[in-house]
Amino acid sequence: MCADVGLVAEAEDLFHEMNDPECPDVPKPDKWSYTAMINIYGSSGDADRALHLFAEMVDAGIEPNIMSYTIVIQCLGKAQRIHKAVEVLEDGLKRGLKPDDRLCGCLLSVVALSSGDDTDLVLSSLEKVNKNLVKLIRMLGDTQVGLEDLKVGLKDILSSAAHEVRRPYCNCLIDICQNHGFPPQRAIEVFHLAQTYGLYSKLHSRKDQEWLLDLRSLSVGAAKTAFDDWMNTVSEHLLQQKPLPEYFSVYTGSSTHKFAQGLATAFAAHLDQLTVPFHPSESHVGSFVSSRDDLVSWLQMRSSSAVIAR
């Protein structure tokens, strides 16, 4: 329960009591209690404590479960400790770890966060776990690979993956395309292919007076791609002189959870970079709003700039 609501100190007190020899009637920590504590440290970004507790668990003769490995590797990846994340994975494989789809998704996110030689290191380990994922990543980075081949490769990956990881897989693949300088069309190609498989359905809702884009289930890279694609749709409506609503809203989500890592900050930076006239809503936390007049003006200016650039 402490892990669910981010109560670090309270969880530590309970865990220490379980380890206290003066409390013989209290159950000793097992793999589940260790994993819960590792989750707390991992969620708060405390890679050192997560890794220390993971090592303590192993030293105590308690075999970590796959969730423990996933949490530690994810935390180390976010901390840019890529070599250590790979080391933990490789040690697990030697100990008989059998990675599941969630762990593969975790490794995809580490690929997205890595760079240079570190990326090759992660891909080398991921290839031992899921060769097809690595093959697809290399296809995405190859300018000679066509859309039809990508469609087949992505379909094979998604059809063999558990339903709950399919959208996270696509989120990570889009992040990889954006973060690693892949051909500029790749991110939107993955996004559109995922849409055809129903993985990004219900992102858009349209009312007479307002269009809404809900980005809460997306990664930062996927959210940027979805927003850019949405703006292209609005631009097409403008060119075709189709009616547009009075207001446009983008929802990135809000949370009171101590460890929640919302999209709001990253998305606000993307808006600033584009100089698009969306601003934080005063009445709805986690929302950005724009009027039709402001957005149309910006789209017309963007279109004029593109013509001049050509």
Helix (H) or strand (E) run with residue 289 in it:
strand 287-291
pLDDT for position 306: 56
Mean pLDDT (the chain) is 90
Q: pLDDT-derived band of residue 256, with 50, 70 and 90 as boundaries? A: very low
DSSP lists the bridge partners of residue 287 as 251
Q: Is 250 left (phi over 0), alpha (psi -120 to 50) or beta?
A: beta
Q: Compute the distance between CA of residue 219 and CA of residue 144 in angstroms, rounded to an integer.
A: 27
Q: Per-residue pLDDT for 310 more than 70?
A: no
Q: Is residue 258 very low, low, confident or very high in pLDDT (cuts 50, 70, 90)?
A: very low
* Cβ burial, residue 266 (10 Å; 0-12/13-18/19+): middle
Quick check: 31 and 65 in contact, CB under 8 A?
A: yes
Q: What is the pTM of this model?
A: 0.90
- 195 has a pLDDT exceeding 60: yes
Give the Cα separation of 164 and 159 in Å (integer): 12
Task: Say what percent of the chain tops pLDDT 90.
Answer: 72
**CA–CA distance, 255 with 185 (Å, rounded to integer):** 33
CATH topology for the 204-309 domain: Ribosomal Protein S8; Chain: A, domain 1 (3.30.1370)
Q: How confident is the model at residue 55 (pLDDT cuts 50, 70, 90)?
A: very high
Mean pLDDT, to the nearest integer, of 121-131? Answer: 95
Q: What confidence category does residue 255 fall into, taking pLDDT thresholds of 50, 70 and 90?
A: low
DSSP tag of 308: H
Does the pLDDT of residue 239 top 80, yes or no?
yes
Task: Give the span between the Cα atoms of 5 and 18, in whole angstroms.
Answer: 20
Smallest CA-to-CA distance from 134 within 156, 164, 116, 163 is with 156
pLDDT, position 20 = 84
Which tens digit of pLDDT belongs to each residue from 149-185? 999 999 999 999 999 999 999 999 999 999 999 999 9
Res 189 pLDDT > 60: yes
Largest alpha-carbon pair distance within the chain?
78
Q: How many residues does the chain have?
A: 310
Q: DSSP state, 260?
A: -
Rounded-to-integer distance, Cα 255 and Cα 285, Å: 9
pLDDT-derived band at 3 (thresholds 50, 70, 90) equals confident
Mean pLDDT of 216-221: 92
Domain boundaries, the chain: 1-98, 126-199, 204-309
pLDDT for residue 260 is more than 90: no
Given a cut of 80, is residue 226 above it in pLDDT?
yes
In the three-class reduction of DSSP (H, G, I as helix; E, B as strand; rest coil), residue 283 is classed as coil
Q: pLDDT grade, residue 248 (50/70/90)?
A: very high
Compute the average pLDDT of residues 180-203.
Answer: 94
Mean pLDDT of 280-295: 92
pLDDT of residue 254: 66
Least confident of 71-85, 90-104, 295-309: 295-309
**Concatenated DSSP letters of 50-114:** HHHHHHHHHHTT----HHHHHHHHHHHHHTT-HHHHHHHHHHHHHTT----HHHHHHHHHHHHH-
